[in-house]
Structures are given as C-alpha cells and as structure tokens.
Copies of this chain bind each other. A is one copy, B any other.
Amino acid sequence: MSAYRDSHGKRLIDYWRPSVAVDTAVLTVRDGRLCVAVVEKDGARRLPGTFLHEGELLADAVRRSLDLKAGIRGLAPRQLHVFDAIDRDDRGRVLSIAHMVAVPDAVLADARLEPVSSVKDLKYDHDDILKLAVDRLRAEYREAPDPAGLLPDTFTLLDLRRLHEAVDPDGIPRRDTFRRLMEPKLAATGELERGTVGKPARLFRRR
C-alpha cells in the first residue's frame, strides 16, 4: 500500500471508488454458426464476468473468470468498451470493462453456447457487449485469415472459407476474390489433404 497522502492528508482509498467488473463475450464457431458462451445465474442469462481483484490486471481477471467457469486457458482477451451507467447493477455502482475473445469450439466443450444471431435479453448491458464483440470480430475476419485461430493447426482453403462464412456470412467475397485476399497471408505447408475423392487440396497454416 502506497504511503502517498494528498494535500488534505488523504490516501486514494479514502475517496469514493466504484467496483470494477470485467465481462467477456467468448465467441466460437459451432456447426457453421458464430456462437457466444452464456452463463445463467440467479435465473438470468449473462456473459461470464467477475470483479477485478487487488493486484490483478484486467486481462488476468478475464482469464481467471473464464478458467474458473469453463476451464478455458491461454486466452488473449481484448478490451471493447467500458459500460458505466449509474444504475446498471442493483448491488451498487459497478463499471463493466467489456472484453472479447474468440476460441476454438473444442475449448468450450462444457459451455452453454447460443448462436449470436438469436441471442437477446441478456442481463445488464450484455446484449450491447455482444454486439460490439461480433462487430469487432467480423471486421478482423474481413482483413485476415482466421485471425483468432479457430481452425486447427493445418487447414484447407475450403476449411478457411467455411469458417469465414460462419463468422461473417454477409461480408465474405466470392470464391476467387476470397482466395486472392487470403492466400498471400497464409503459410503453405507443402502437404496435401488426404482421404478425399478428387484433387487433394493444399494444406496451410496461419502465419
């Protein structure tokens, strides 16, 4: 604890402070659809979150929250926006620092997933958090091949395209344009897919 005192002899903790929560939109693709992890508590559906603890970075709080609630590790959550409505939480003044992270489907084996296109009526402002997260993810998928690493280590162009179609159905270009945009940003493995009828597809890795 700092020894600092201001000109009134007060420490920082002598002044009013809000509670700070982190809430996270955890996104994945399952069955060809973009989905979000939702938890239920006290009868209300919401995005997973927690209060920030002493000595913790925001990203660490996000990780702790998701580890405890869904056994998810190795995340790189990103900040979206701070939600600060005075009365957004009945328990008291709480700022929510919304985050997002996208993970491969298998990571969320035990989580309750809902397709983002049909999610509504989440508690607090979590519908708004989800919208920001989806918009952000889609913008990223328009610029780069699988930036969130949802595919396995190696994949074909068709695998990639199907993933992008799931993430951003309305923003994906047609066949050749998609390939011209994405292929230069991939690392060719030099190997071919096996076990398929027809000319085998080339395998790639993300760079």
Contacts and interface: CB of A to CB of B under 8 A. Distances in A.
Interface of A: 1-2, 4, 6, 11-13, 15-20, 51-55, 57-58, 79, 81-82, 84-86, 90-95, 97
A136 to B, nearest CB: 13
From DSSP, what is the main secondary structure of chain A's interface residues? loop
Contacts of A11: 91-92
B17 A18 contact: yes
A60 B51 CA distance: 23
Contacts of A16: 53-54
Nearest to A78: B81
Contact of A4 (B17, B86, B91): B91
13 contacts: A2-B90, A2-B91, A4-B90, A12-B19, A12-B94, A17-B18, A18-B52, A20-B20, A55-B86, A55-B93, A57-B84, A58-B82, A58-B95
B79 A58 contact: no
Given A2-B92, A52-B18, A92-B4, A86 B58 contact: no
Contacts of A91: 2, 4, 6, 11-12
A86 B55 CA distance: 6
Nearest to A94: B12
Contact of A15 (B51, B58, B85, B93): B51
